[in-house]
């Protein structure tokens, strides 16, 4: 049983930390911004997986996943302090189609730098819930005090044809140790998926078995290919 599962089942689990990454790099001059909403009375910057998330006046709701009916469309509201986000919306086409990634972990697993004297024996960047990726569908409200956007999943984006990339059964397109890959452990493997102590030999063979070595059960295998895809011959 992983530490995360034990923490979820604990009688008094540590606070759930919710973090966001706003990616506007699909637009000219766009950037990648990391922030958190200050939940659980956290009002200072949070460092997670070596990245600093700044506190911002944000409200986000409606992320519950459903198996029937229409897909959820979360609401994402930001305080429009000094017109900062009005300027962002104006410069970047209301942020339409920009990606919002929701990340979650528990406070006990945060980087040691967040704690007194920089000490946290439970710090573990691998203990996290699967990232949720959403896209800005439209701006739904704007006042002097706040701006609200509606988010959708990739399947609900307008004018998007699926699949958006080639379906390959046993080849992962993710960049190794990127945010999409999600592998951050200090265990290294060579091109044949054999353990190695030499970080210079740390590469990924891009196979499903490569992911299995890096994400042993009960962790979620973060494979970007399509292992269930079959090849059909022309009749």
pLDDT tens for the chain, 235 residues: list them.
467 767 766 766 778 889 999 888 887 777 888 988 876 666 789 999 999 998 888 888 888 766 565 678 889 888 876 666 777 778 778 888 888 999 999 888 999 999 989 999 989 988 888 888 899 988 999 888 889 999 988 766 655 555 555 666 678 888 898 877 889 888 999 999 999 999 999 999 999 899 999 998 878 888 888 776 655 444 4
75 forms bridges with which residues in the sheet? 61, 150
pLDDT of amino acid 235: 42
Which residues 6+ apart lie within 8 Å of 10 measured at CB?
none
Count other Cβ atoms within 10 Å, centred on residue 31: 11
This prediction's pTM = 0.63
DSSP state at residue 83: G
Domain coordinates in residue numbering, the chain: 3-156, 165-227
The two tokens of residue 191 are 């091109």
Distances (CA, A) of 41 to 36, 37, 52, 97, 210: 11, 10, 17, 31, 40
Radius of gyration of the chain (CA): 20
3-state secondary structure of 32: strand
Distance CA 144, CA 151 (A): 21
pLDDT of amino acid 47: 93
By the 10 Å C-beta count (0-12 exposed, 13-18 middle, 19+ buried), 207 is classed as middle
The two tokens of residue 219 are 């962790």
218, 223, 225, 230 alpha-carbon torsion, rounded to 10°: -10
pLDDT of amino acid 68: 61
3-state secondary structure of 71: coil
Distance CA 164, CA 158 (A): 13
pLDDT of amino acid 234: 47
pLDDT of amino acid 155: 67
Distance CA 110, CA 108 (A): 6
């Amino acid at each position: 049983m992983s530490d995360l599962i034990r923490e979820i089942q604990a009688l008094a689990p540590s606070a759930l930390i919710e973090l966001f990454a706003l990616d506007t790099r699909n637009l000219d001059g766009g950037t990648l911004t990391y922030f958190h909403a200050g939940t659980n009375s956290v009002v200072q910057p949070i460092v997670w997986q070596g990245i600093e998330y700044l506190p911002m006046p944000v409200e986000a709701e409606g992320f519950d996943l459903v198996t029937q009916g229409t897909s959820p469309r979360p609401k994402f509201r930001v305080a429009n302090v000094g017109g900062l986000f009005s300027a962002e919306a104006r410069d970047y086409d209301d942020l339409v189609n920009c990606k919002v990634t929701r990340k979650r972990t528990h406070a006990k697993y945060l980087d040691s730098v967040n704690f007194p004297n920089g000490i946290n024996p439970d710090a573990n960047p691998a203990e996290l819930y699967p990232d949720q990726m959403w896209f800005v569908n439209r701006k739904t409200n704007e006042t002097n005090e706040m701006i609200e956007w509606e988010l959708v999943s990739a399947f609900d984006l307008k004018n998007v044809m699926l699949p958006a990339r080639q379906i390959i059964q046993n080849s992962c397109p993710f960049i190794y140790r990127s945010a999409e890959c999600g592998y951050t452990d200090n265990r290294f493997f060579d091109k044949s998926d054999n353990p190695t102590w030499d970080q210079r030999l740390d590469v990924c063979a891009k196979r499903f078995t490569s992911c299995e070595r890096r994400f042993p059960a009960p962790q979620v295998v973060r494979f970007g290919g399509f292992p269930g895809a079959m090849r059909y011959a022309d009749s």
